[in-house]
Structure 1
């Protein structure tokens, strides 16, 4: 028993003695060690980053305190990256002996950090270079372990107590400037309080950050708001990207960071009040979200990163559960799932962000809806893409329309196209217009051709074609740009009649919702939708509707168009103002246009829309005879021999 106690005593005391001896040795030689560390850092920064790192004075204070004076980092031939006049900090000696740097306290008196770009020259460019050794390492990362290691290192560098005065962050991007000056930042007894002055080329404000922060236990609850009246404006992005944004307050809560059994869990929530965004790619108006909240649970494993489905996103009264994941176990797989539980349709409409759905303002509805989205993309098997979008309704009924009154499609109305924000001439969609053509008076060949090129399943779908969306997504991912759309005739009709041609997120979202309402509430028959479509679409320069188009090109009524003419009109719908480039200088279709026509014809024959008898006269050349002929670049024939007068000698003979 005594031997056992001795062993336990030795097991405890020997490491303790070693630590004490090591600590004592460190205490004796610490100043020389500190100087060596600074010298080594100076040499490394100069060699690896072509920059000068200087510390005018450095020494220990007490057992674990370090005092630094005039700490400067300046890249060669560039502006100083940072300068700290006075800094005091303390480190956890025991963690330091174990190879970890963990700050205890931090005091900064006067200093600045600045990022500048002048032309193509950045003062921080050298520090963005990747480590060659790291870039050559092709081993897969353990995402959970890697993330936890980074988080731990960062939080260890966050002191438990801070006192910062007059620390300024400067940004100068070729004259686009923003200055954030921390007049005061105090973290004491886990309570954080700040006073921040912000100034840019366009505004000046006083900000405040307040809350609870416990870096050692990995917890925080922080609020960010404006001391002055009005919302907090986001600096720099307005000048750099044209993104004007503001908000009343932001709250960030971190409840738990836990790494166990090979998984990393991060739980908490973030909220924002009265977020306002203005950007020409988003909307022509200010987009306002009154209340938004994200209750998150991030999960990371050795081969995946995900937002767990127990997370909740709230936009005003709309709440849904998202699931996102990035997996690399076998293939690289992206997944997205959204589940919107059953909710009142009116609550959904009322919660749509102002400015993003302007045509829905004032709309009233009865019934309820729920929505599910399932998306999966395998990078190594792109053609196996999964895209299932399902919006269910229960007793849904629109009792009052907003700005977009879909019922107007059932009666006469004035249509005015908007091109580059300019209203075009008014077109009466109704029998009082002599160019208006009822559906039954349009050549069957044209109806079949247009449906084939624009929307083959128009009479069977409900506004959207999932397969078309899939192929569009695959193509856009492969090309890394929006190179292919998936518009149906229903979508084109809604866009033309109720919206504009602007390429904004707002217009596309409104288009999708309006089409769903139009197609799933049987507001307008398919035949009427197609008839209106034929009578309003652009078919050439200032040419609208099939009545005008058939006369503009062929001096015919729509009912009298032959197959060749119908194939031509169907093909030019995507770019009607460029129709003249289909023809050569002799007025005949160019080779590419002939191939397109043959391709379209073969498709229609395979689908049973045409027979071989229909193509008997198809060998005849297409002739433009109407006003459109003046747009063609035709070669002027030499008529000198025919038009020259005979000579006097010829008359005498």
Structure 2
């Protein structure tokens, strides 16, 4: 009778024999299995993507090596997606038996991968479609599991040893072309080295990627730089988006990819040197960031994707901790938090990207500050938007101004508006200008009307109105465009006196910072700010300041304006050159203008700015008596008897 030990050995022998038989069977029939696998792949690509996948020749080499020749993928009625002349690879047999494809080595010689768009025909369009199982699925996606599965598959397909020669990546977007030609790429003993030629319609360069890559342990540390002199230019975006950008070098480091407790953690850092960007929507000139680094920790869960607050962003001497999150547990929620720890004001000013804050160049400051931003937007509850911006300062003081010398608002200066990049005529802001009007000589009605329409809390806020910002953000998100602003009189003053009307990111950021400095350092009194505002804003075609405006429309001084006239002048500030559209062809207000007058009058009464006595003449027509009248198109009825003059009974002027 066999012992228990003998039985165990017998079972092990049987298992080993079965495994050997299976391996021998696979080895013997592997050529057939390989052809079947290729045929199955070709059929699936044909069915799912309407494309032809062809391998002219395929065979095994040794125990795990596979040689493939002339591999092509051609979508129907479109350009070839890729063609590779020779490819040799090895597969981990043990992982393959477990149903997991993991490449050991890879050699590629002579081939190309191309993405083309000709008119509306894209040769890659079919491969961007979601498959049917995804379209029919009603289950929420588990972001952590999905991302980890994709990352694992990709890393398994990256071989531990690789050699690539003459592999081109081509892009042709209706004539906008770029070619990245990998002359040589070698990954050996976890060390990567490349030689890459790049060519577009506008430039040609040679690049190199060097560093450490370990796909099995999910780690990498790669550097990307130019083999020739000068910066690396980013291809395609210059032609496609008019975005000209370049950099000296980029470093990408992946330290850890780990999934545990239902969460996926990705840790590492990336850095860039001398990043230069030029785009008409960003700034008028090149924007340069000399040194920037992002130490990141990405967290993904079943229902969220986030950049953890332990991450750090640094550019020049500015360092802060961002928190970004996209959550879908119940509602779709976007979150952003920024914390800038206490830092020297001068370090912040000197770290601002060159070209983005031109009016701050040369500025000097003392003191410190810290800043905190909390933003949260619920897609299903947009009106619950959270926007909290808090800056704390200690002994903050501007000791030297740059190009924008805010002190000039306290004295006489020449103002010149810029419209469509054209400098307008000079306007002297000071008593030497006969049209200049001190604040105490401007009708109180006009002051009340303009403050009501433009900035009701002007004398109490510090340059910004948080609630207005929130409503502006809500409206812009809903319309998916910048359809509403949140400008205060302080912001309009800064924009008119120191900046331009260009709609760029640079101008808006400079406006925000300059307004904060103006309002929070007691540089100019509120009364002086309002006085300058009244004397420089555009009030009609080539009409600047209230002194010119009161004459242009009513042949009066600003002190003599009636309530009705003041209300008219306040209402046309947003579009002063279109004031004539307020009137119909009989010279009276259109119905829409009448409704605006009624609404604003009642609003001012409710706020205690007016009494019934102030509005006793509100029903009287507002009649233009100055030169502005000639710009109206009024039809005047002829009172002459019809039979006395054989002419039309009305005429236009």
**Superposition TM-score, scaled by structure 2 size:** 0.96
Aligned to 2:232: 232
Within 2, Cα distance between the matches of 1:570 and 1:222? 60
Within 2, Cα distance between the matches of 1:285 and 1:578? 32
Within 2, Cα distance between the matches of 1:4 and 1:369? 78
Aligned to 2:93: 93
Within 2, Cα distance between the matches of 1:216 and 1:233? 32
Residue 5 of structure 1 deviates from its aligned partner by 6.0
Aligned to 1:297: 297
Within 2, Cα distance between the matches of 1:243 and 1:10? 72
Aligned to 1:568: 568
Residue 634 of structure 1 deviates from its aligned partner by 1.3
Alignment RMSD: 1.7
Aligned: 1:58 with 2:58:
yes
Aligned to 1:651: none
Where in structure 2 are the equivalents of 1:603-642 lying within 5 Å? 603-638=603-638, 641=641
Within 2, Cα distance between the matches of 1:509 and 1:141? 38
Residues 628-637 or 410-419, more deviating: 628-637
Residue 18 of structure 1 deviates from its aligned partner by 4.7
Residue 639 of structure 1 deviates from its aligned partner by 5.3
3-state SS of 2:266 partner: strand
3-state SS of 1:619 partner: coil
Aligned to 1:44: 44
Aligned to 1:373: 373
Within 2, Cα distance between the matches of 1:564 and 1:13? 106
3-state SS of 2:235 partner: coil
Aligned to 1:244: 244
Aligned to 1:352: 352
Aligned to 1:516: 516
Where in structure 2 are the equivalents of 1:436-585 lying within 5 Å? 436-585=436-585
Within 2, Cα distance between the matches of 1:95 and 1:560? 91
Residues 51-60 or 201-210, more deviating: 51-60
Within 2, Cα distance between the matches of 1:11 and 1:279? 73
Residues 496-505 or 142-151, more deviating: 142-151
Aligned to 2:408: 408
Aligned to 1:424: 424
Residue 426 of structure 1 deviates from its aligned partner by 0.3
Within 2, Cα distance between the matches of 1:546 and 1:10? 106
Within 1, Cα distance between the matches of 2:4 and 2:634? 109
3-state SS of 1:223 partner: strand
Residue 98 of structure 1 deviates from its aligned partner by 1.5
Residues 393-402 or 119-128, more deviating: 119-128
Residue 52 of structure 1 deviates from its aligned partner by 1.5
Q: 1:60 to 1:595 in 2, by over 3 A?
A: same
Where in structure 2 are the equivalents of 1:79-228 lying within 5 Å? 79-228=79-228
Aligned to 2:650: none
Residues 527-536 or 51-60, more deviating: 51-60
Residue 596 of structure 1 deviates from its aligned partner by 1.1
Aligned to 2:649: none
Aligned to 1:75: 75
Residues 534-543 or 377-386, more deviating: 377-386
Residues 183 and 195 in structure 2, CA contact (< 8 A), matched pair in contact too? yes
Within 1, Cα distance between the matches of 2:10 and 2:256? 38
Aligned to 1:22: 22
1:417-471 Cα offsets, whole Å, 9 max, x none, are: 0001000000000111111111111111111111111111111111111111111
Residue 14 of structure 1 deviates from its aligned partner by 6.5
**Which runs of 5 or more structure 1 residues have no equivalent in the other structure?**
647-653
Within 2, Cα distance between the matches of 1:15 and 1:464? 78
3-state SS of 2:216 partner: coil
Aligned to 1:320: 320
Aligned to 1:591: 591
Residue 553 of structure 1 deviates from its aligned partner by 1.0
Residues 14-23 or 37-46, more deviating: 14-23
Aligned length: 645
Residue 6 of structure 1 deviates from its aligned partner by 6.8
Aligned to 1:254: 254
1:278-336 Cα offsets, whole Å, 9 max, x none, are: 00000000000000000000111111111111100001110000011111122221111
Aligned to 2:32: 32
Residue 128 of structure 1 deviates from its aligned partner by 1.5
**Which runs of 5 or more structure 2 residues have no equivalent in the other structure?**
647-653
Q: 1:565 to 1:17 in 2, by over 3 A?
A: farther
Residue 638 of structure 1 deviates from its aligned partner by 3.8
Within 2, Cα distance between the matches of 1:6 and 1:503? 86
Within 2, Cα distance between the matches of 1:633 and 1:124? 57
Aligned to 2:264: 264
Aligned to 1:336: 336
Residue 541 of structure 1 deviates from its aligned partner by 0.8
Within 2, Cα distance between the matches of 1:175 and 1:153? 34
